[in-house]
Amino acid sequence: MMIAGLLVLLTMCAGSFVFYKKPYVKSGPSEAGSVTVIIPARNEAHNLPHLLTSLKQQDLPHQCLVIDDGSTDETAAIARQLGATVLTPPKRTDWQGKSAACYFGAEHAQSDYLLFLDADVILNHSQSLRNLLTCYNGGLMTVQPYHITKKPYEELSVWFNILTVVGQNSFSAVSSSTPAAFGPVVLTSSAHYFETGGHYGARGQLIEGFGLAAQFAQHQLPVTALLGKGTISFRMYSHFQAMTKGWAKHFASGAAATKPWIMLLIILWMLGSLLSLSLLILSPEPFSIMMYILYSLHFYILSRRVGRFSLVTALFSSLAFIYFLYVFTQSFIHTFIFKKVEWKGRNLKL
């Protein structure tokens, strides 16, 4: 039993190592220039009101462009009603989707800085936009929004949210030499964007953040990744099927890009959820109960860095792990066997 307990502690050490740093967006004085907010949107009528309303509450003037990427709902009408300028990119067969919409928007921006936001993002307070620009130090800055959960099924995505962050090795105890970027919130200067090729250089990438980070690194420009807690948040999926399909779309590709030793530590940490539960079931004694509670509290503290996940979820993290395995298996099959995924009515070849 003592050996099993030590193994549980080892898995917790692995988790603490890969999620050692917590660089949040900070507030401070800003001498920001002009900024254009570019929102690629495909059938986002249900999300846009929240984002655009939060943008209207910002204390920093900005231009707002919504790039209507072939929507069949009221995306364009709602965007106009809420004061955004709506642009429709030309239909192309060689390049389409989010990265094409972002580049088209950048070409029509008239500002010093470009801020690309996914439509499901929300700025949490009136100074969020200003704080993002305060933290910008040139090159590419990306932020992973804080995940707001509203329904019980959304708690199952806790491991995906954590791995999205720690898999890039930007937050481990050892600094990464490989640049990494998040996709939902991307900030850069117009000059650096077009110097590197921006989203055009990331065309063909299922996870455009990887392509952007590589482009900026090749031009010897800094790439910074931050956490959005307290500044910017999102609710990713409004129903269970969309959540499963959304994570399955790209997660195997992201895992394949993770450094092997980081992935090994992540797997070790995840296995701790099953190990601590097994120890409790096989030997329900005070020591086993203590180790189970200790692992759960440790998991709860780290998970709250990326999202509003409950203590109940931490106590049953093994269920979230089983869901993770199910979705990851689907993602692996679609990515490496069928080599295509379906998203928002489009078949994306890999």
Q: What is the rounded distance in angstroms from the CA atom of residue 319 to the CA atom of residue 238?
A: 20
Q: Assess whether 9 and 137 both reside in one domain.
A: no
Q: What is the rounded distance in angstroms from the CA atom of residue 297 to the CA atom of residue 273?
A: 11
pTM for the model = 0.91
Q: Assess whether 117 and 162 both reside in one domain.
A: yes
Residue 264 belongs to domain spanning: 2-20+254-349
CA-to-CA dists, residue 40 to 47, 101, 195, 203, angstroms: 12, 6, 21, 15
Q: Burial, 61: exposed, middle or buried (Cβ in 10 Å; 0-12, 13-18, 19+)? A: exposed
Count how many domains the chain has.
2
At 74, which CATH number?
3.90.550.10
Q: What is the rounded distance in angstroms from the CA atom of residue 339 to the CA atom of residue 22?
A: 35
pLDDT tens digit at each of 350 positions of the chain: 678 888 999 999 999 999 999 999 998 776 668 999 999 999 999 999 999 999 999 999 999 999 999 899 999 999 999 999 999 998 876 787 889 999 999 999 999 999 999 999 999 999 999 999 999 999 999 999 999 999 999 999 999 999 999 988 889 988 666 777 898 999 999 999 999 999 998 876 767 888 899 899 999 999 999 999 999 999 888 889 888 888 887 666 666 667 888 889 999 999 999 999 999 998 889 999 999 999 999 999 999 999 999 999 999 999 999 999 999 888 888 777 766 656 555 555 55
Smallest Cα–Cα separation from 88: which of 68, 66, 108, 63?
Answer: 68
What is the reported pLDDT for 224? 93
Q: Burial, 293: exposed, middle or buried (Cβ in 10 Å; 0-12, 13-18, 19+)? A: middle
Q: Assess whether 170 and 304 both reside in one domain.
A: no
Residue indicated by tokens 């956490």: 227
Q: Assess whether 49 and 139 both reside in one domain.
A: yes
> Measured in whole angstroms, how far is the alpha carbon of residue 50 from the centre of its chain?
18
CA-to-CA dists, residue 210 to 129, 140, 231, 345, angstroms: 24, 12, 23, 23
Q: Which of 204, 238, 272 is the last residue of a domain?
A: 238
Q: Assess whether 204 and 316 both reside in one domain.
A: no
Sequence-separated (6 or more) residues with CB below 8 Å from residue 243: 153, 154, 156, 157, 236, 237
Q: Assess whether 310 and 203 both reside in one domain.
A: no
Residue indicated by tokens 């050692």: 20
* In-domain check, residue 278: yes
What is the reported pLDDT for 120? 94
What is the reported pLDDT for 344? 57
* In-domain check, residue 332: yes
What is the reported pLDDT for 17? 96
